[in-house]
Amino acid sequence: MAAFMWRRAFPLLRRVSRFSLHNSCQSTRRLYSAGDTNTEKQLEVRKATYPLIIPPVYAKTAEAEEYRKKLIIQRINDKPTATEMIHELRLAGDYPHLRDSQIDQDVQVQSFWKREETRFQFTGNPLFLIRTKDPLPEFISKEDELSVGEVPLWSYAPENVSVFKQHINPVCFPGFKTGNPFTYGHTQIYTSTFSRTRCAKDQILEEVLQGFGMSSSFGWLNGLALYQMNNPYRDLKHPMTCQTIVTNGCQFSFFCYQLNTMGLSSQSADNPLRNVCWYSPDMKLYGDIQDGRIIDFNNDVLKLVIAFLLNRTCPLEE
């Protein structure tokens, strides 16, 4: 039986051996010959394409930093409200001061201080307050020439500059109750309640904006300092800083305030320190809105808003 099977298989092996490798190669060459245009089209190789190289979001390189900025601006442009914009910034990139912060919306800020025999009460209603556990770094040193020097005297009565007299109880309330761990101010956003058109017509718009930005910045920092057990008789050990944005939705003014001292009366005459405020001219976010489309959008204003919010905090050095 085994011999019979071997005889049956042997002729098959002989027939297979006649199909040589040379014949196989010839058949292959004929199948893919140069004259067969249809075959050439089928075998045409497309040019290789590669995806864009996107740097890691958390990389410490200039390319990654630029990519993060573009990504943040793109996300913010897709978000219609300031709340969502701040929320996007809290989630984007390596910004722990925003992730670990508290945002107060539609709160009232009250601050009281005294200068000589005049008592002042500030009341403001910011759209947003961003508070953090660590403070913003000081903008300049307390020994800087801007921080030291005399403050020009103001020889006008308060009622002559729209500071009205009222009989009220003095109140200090920086937007939160005591015991909250987020005790440092970062950024506040105000809507301008005055008529810009009227102020521009009377040529006092810049002065009104300066007064609004400085009073709201000082009022907030003064209340925060009092909550931290500071007062004119127990002055600040470290400067306190904050950032303020005043806007009507189209025009923006930016302020940076550094509170160096709370000693404002003649009893602090031997105190050489003075408080400092920086501000920007009024800037337009866009030119006009036509048929639901924004005309002449100013990216520089948006970048400045983002720069304010992304300004990092740092722990105090004892």
> Could you write out the DSSP letters of every residue in 201-248?
HTT-HHHHHHHHHHHHHHHHHHHHHHHTT-BTTB--SS-EEEEEEEES
Predicted pLDDT at 81: 58
Would the pLDDT of 24 be above 70? no
Predicted pLDDT at 202: 86
Query: Tell me: the pLDDT tens digits for 223-271?
Result: 999 999 999 889 999 999 999 999 988 899 999 999 999 988 777 778 8
The C-alpha atoms of residue 46 and residue 67 are separated, in whole angstroms, by 31
Are 236 and 259 in contact, with CB atoms under 8 Å apart? yes
How far is residue 170 CA from its own chain's centroid? 34
The C-alpha atoms of residue 176 and residue 108 are separated, in whole angstroms, by 9
The C-alpha atoms of residue 307 and residue 248 are separated, in whole angstroms, by 19
Query: Tell me: the pLDDT tens digits for 37-52?
Result: 554 555 566 666 655 5
**Residue 249: exposure state from Cβ atoms within 10 A (0-12, 13-18, ≥19):** exposed
Based on its alpha-carbon atoms, the radius of gyration of the chain, rounded to whole angstroms, reads 35
Look at residues 129, 103, 101 and name the one whose alpha carbon lies nearest to residue 220. 129
What angle (nearest 5°) sits at the alpha carbon of residue 210, between those of residues 209 and 214? 120
Query: Tell me: the pLDDT tens digits for 30-86?
Result: 444 444 455 455 556 666 665 555 556 566 777 777 777 677 666 656 554 566 666
| Average pLDDT over all residues of the chain | 79
Return the amino acid letter for 80: P
